[in-house]
A and B are shown apart, each in its own frame.
Chain A
Amino acid sequence: MQQPQEFISYFEHSALADAIRENDFLFPLIESVHVLSICLVVGSILVVDLRLLGLASIYRPVSRIIRGILLTTWGAFAIAVASGSLLFISNATAYLDNGYFVAKLVLICMAGLNMAIFHGISAKDLPRWESDTVPPVPARLAGGLSILLWVSVITCGRWIGFTMPVR
């Protein structure tokens, strides 16, 4: 069984990581794709969150909002993870040492957990209330928490750029 450190070191010293690290064009390019996809992830999730809070799209049932947005969110999330992983391996050890990077990953997991709890518990009786302009408290809580978590993800992401050692 390999140590996690060795595992990460393997990627960090791959030809791909070298290329991203040393090419002046590649890092900004991947970073731009990362920012673009995160914007779409957060923007599309916000549509659902604001609906759960009863603040926007209130005349449209919640399940239809979710169905309309789902493909965009997950597609953009897949691109964000792929581009983020490429940025990560270019300087893996330093990123793992960065508190904001670790916090960002934890916050993303919490946002996922929040979503899972909503779908698993709060949304059990979705058909009963999904057309209400203001959803019940657990749903509003999930929406508010989601906004808070994603804003924190973006904040940590921006702070990583200011706290990484200059290459």
Chain B
Amino acid sequence: MIDVVLSGLAKWLAATPLSHTIRTTGWIIPSLQTIHILGVAVVFSSAILVDLRVWRLLQRDEPLPEVARRFLPTIWPVLLILLVTGSLLIVGEPRRSLLNSTFYLKMALLAVAIMLTAGVQRSIAASPNSWDEDRGRRAIAGRFAATLSILIWCGILFAGRWIAYTQAG
């Protein structure tokens, strides 16, 4: 049932003038993908640099709340750019992603990553010192969240690249 709906949606999207333009103008898809990857680089690096700081692997001379304030807010506007470029890529080649289970895996992981990152950002801001103690339950919870964050963001990048290899014919 859902396959039929998605297939219909893909067909409808592919028939739009916008889709036709994106698909048939040689430089548009590589350009959108380039902007998309640059956005991914910013979001991914911001998240990872804070995660590594939670583990006290780098930037130890700066308090964690300061590091989080420098990097995490950048993620949200850049995610909007990713939403726009990603959507245009879907409009251009709807079957490539809409009929591809790897794409849905990526979106599911992204949903988790967004909630986790927002939670981490809020939690660090709410109790600035508790995450940075060497011992204690909150420090352990923080390291758990940071590890999960690293794994999920890596998963998103892998799934993103893998969409190209699992697309419907």
Binding site for B on A (CB under 8 A): 24, 28, 31-32, 35-36, 38-40, 42-44, 46-47, 56-57, 60, 64, 68-69, 71-72, 151, 154-155, 158-159, 161-162
Residues of B126-169 contacting chain A, CB below 8 A? 154, 157-158, 160-162, 164-165
Interface string of B52-90 (1 = CB under 8 A from A): 100001110110000000100000000000000000000
Whether B45 contacts A39 by the Cβ 8 Å rule is yes
- Cα A154 to Cα B59 with chains together (Å): 27
Cβ contacts A to B, 8 pairs, < 8 Å: A28-B165, A38-B41, A39-B45, A46-B41, A46-B42, A64-B61, A69-B58, A158-B37
Binding site for A on B (CB under 8 A): 29-30, 33-34, 37-38, 40-42, 44-46, 48-49, 52, 57-59, 61-62, 70, 154, 157-158, 160-162, 164-165
User: Hey, which chain B residues are within 8 Å of A38, CB to CB?
Assistant: 41
CB distance from A27 to the nearest CB of B (A): 8
User: Hey, which chain A residues are within 8 Å of B164, CB to CB?
Assistant: 28
Contact of A72 among B49, B70, B165 (CB under 8 A): B49
CB distance from B159 to the nearest CB of A (A): 9
Whether A154 contacts B41 by the Cβ 8 Å rule is yes
Question: In the complex where A32-B161, A154-B37, A158-B37 touch, is A44 in contact with B45 (Cβ < 8 A)?
Answer: yes
- Cα A9 to Cα B123 with chains together (Å): 55
Whether B52 contacts A72 by the Cβ 8 Å rule is yes
Q: What is the interface of chain A mostly: helix, strand, loop, or mixed? A: helix
Name A64's closest neighbour in chain B (CB-CB): B61
User: Hey, which chain B residues are within 8 Å of A158, CB to CB?
Assistant: 30, 33-34, 37
Question: In the complex where A56-B70, A68-B58, A162-B30 touch, is A42 in contact with B41 (Cβ < 8 A)?
Answer: yes
CB distance from B120 to the nearest CB of A (A): 18
User: Hey, which chain B residues are within 8 Å of A69, CB to CB?
Assistant: 49, 58
CB distance from A37 to the nearest CB of B (A): 10
- Cα A61 to Cα B37 with chains together (Å): 29
